[in-house]
Amino acid sequence: MRLSRAFLPTLKETPAEAQIVSHRLMLRAGLVRQTSAGIYAWLPMGLRALQKVGQIVREEQDRAGAQEILMPTIQSAELWRQSGRYDAYGPEMLRLKDRHERDMLFGPTNEEMVTDIFRSYAKSYRDLPRNLYHIQWKFRDEVRPRFGVMRGREFLMKDAYSFDLTKEGAEHSYRQMFLAYLRTFARMGLKAIPMRADTGPIGGNLSHEFIILAETGESQVFVSRTLLDMDPLAEAPDYDGDLKPLVEAWTSHYAATDEMHEPLAWEKLPEAERVSARGIEVGHIFYFGTKYSAPMGLSVQGADGQAVVPEMGSYGIGVSRLVGAIIEANHDEAGIRWPDAVAPFRAAVLNLKPGDGACDALCDKIYAALGADAVYDDRADRAGVKFADADLMGHPWQVIVGPRGAAANKVELKRRQTGERHEVSPEDALGKIRG
């Protein structure tokens, strides 16, 4: 993308309504534009980041054996009445009527709809286990939407739903998603810590939030330092094998939000093992048994011919929220510092003197070699403007081309995460950028 032709409405001043870092930087870098309270339009640069985050989520769900579907945003109120949640959900649900005066709603979540879809086709124990997921827009009418895409009213979410014949099978499905979540966040350059979550009236102990540490986090968290050194990508899991030991290796160490914190247990840890920090929730997994399958009449014939009500779980990742969370965890005074895997563009080519024959030729050559994963700043602006915008947008690599370097067939290569700069040949620059 050539910046001279790009739709990239960057801002020099921070909008007054932006209260946290990610909101400020997403507005200033031209990633999103607020259209009404808690609702955002995703502009070209922001949409690329959103799509890259979504693709990693999709790949890890597929790897864990989940199958992608796409459910509609508008749902029938009748499904929610069957589960008993329509009247109980509260004012966060956006209720509406169609032209025939039928009660409808803009889906805040999809347990009812996916249960209805599955019960239409699942008849036998041979139809289980299954895990269905989609990545779709949700709406929850928050009373005070704030913090940009971190807590908006409309948001993009990955929600998956597992169906199993037995509690033991449901626990295995839960562990599959537990591992998939660890891998998903690690691939995005995030250290996500699984923490026990309140299961509410459902009971049991199978509910975990995944929290990333960030100075501007919304919750106080307490973590064993050992967890910070564990690497989920070091595992080569067989998702159909026994995942219990692997999950227990993660859950055996202390990790809790302030709501679930146990001071007495915390104080028993060696002081060097204790990490108290701020955190941001980026995912939540939940086993809830027959909470939806039973009232909605979902049952299948078991191997013995008897009816079996499937056990279910749900697994959510806020895809649009993740974009904000990644920025909260990766920024400095100058702007965003994207991890390589989710950066809208992997590199920016900065032409410090457009119109200079050598600069133009070398920039064109590098830009062509990098292809669609590069942005080319060919604007007729001062070098300082280009440096500031490149840092603000956070491209992992900057290839800086000036007249002196171009004449010697050299470029300056800057790594955004560290600020390191080196003068190298164009070929060496391309090699480093491609990894």
Residue 109 belongs to domain with CATH number? 3.30.930.10
Q: Based on the domain organization, do 37 and 157 belong to the same domain?
A: yes
User: What's the total number of domains in the chain?
Assistant: 2
Residue 403 belongs to domain with CATH number? 3.40.50.800
Q: Based on the domain organization, do 306 and 370 belong to the same domain?
A: no
Residue that the structure tokens 């002081």 belong to: 271
Q: Based on the domain organization, do 325 and 351 belong to the same domain?
A: no
Residues 6+ apart with CB under 8 A from 342: 49, 52, 53, 56, 188, 189, 323, 326
> Does 204 have pLDDT greater than 70?
no
Over residues 163-176, the mean pLDDT reads: 97
The span from the CA of 419 to the CA of 23, in Å, is 23
pLDDT for residue 101: 97
Query: What sign does the dihedral 13-14-17-22 (CA atoms) show?
Result: positive
pLDDT tens readout for residues 98-131:
999 999 999 999 999 999 999 999 999 999 999 9
**Domain range enclosing 381:** 345-434
Q: Based on the domain organization, do 156 and 286 belong to the same domain?
A: yes
The 10 Å Cβ neighbour count of residue 332 is: 13
Q: Based on the domain organization, do 242 and 138 belong to the same domain?
A: yes
Residue that is last in its domain, among 290, 313, 335:
335
Is 57 among the domain residues? Answer: yes
Reference 336, options 138, 144, 48; nearest CA is 48
Order of strands across the sheet that contains 411-415: 374-377, 347-351, 397-401, 411-415, 421-424
> Does 203 have pLDDT greater than 80?
no
pLDDT for residue 217: 86
Is 308 among the domain residues? Answer: yes
Is 205 among the domain residues? Answer: yes
- Kindly state the percentage of the chain with pLDDT values over 70: 98
Q: Based on the domain organization, do 216 and 276 belong to the same domain?
A: yes
Q: Based on the domain organization, do 126 and 259 belong to the same domain?
A: yes
pLDDT for residue 137: 98
The span from the CA of 100 to the CA of 307, in Å, is 37
Q: Based on the domain organization, do 378 and 285 belong to the same domain?
A: no
Residue that is last in its domain, among 308, 335, 362:
335
Q: Write the burial class of residue 268 (CB in 10 Å: 0-12 exposed, 13-18 middle, 19+ buried).
A: exposed
The span from the CA of 287 to the CA of 285, in Å, is 7
Residue that is last in its domain, among 335, 356, 378:
335
Is 340 among the domain residues? Answer: no
Q: Based on the domain organization, do 203 and 350 belong to the same domain?
A: no
The span from the CA of 379 to the CA of 387, in Å, is 12
User: How many residues are listed for the chain in this entry?
Assistant: 435
Q: Based on the domain organization, do 221 and 158 belong to the same domain?
A: yes
Q: What is the pTM of this model?
A: 0.95
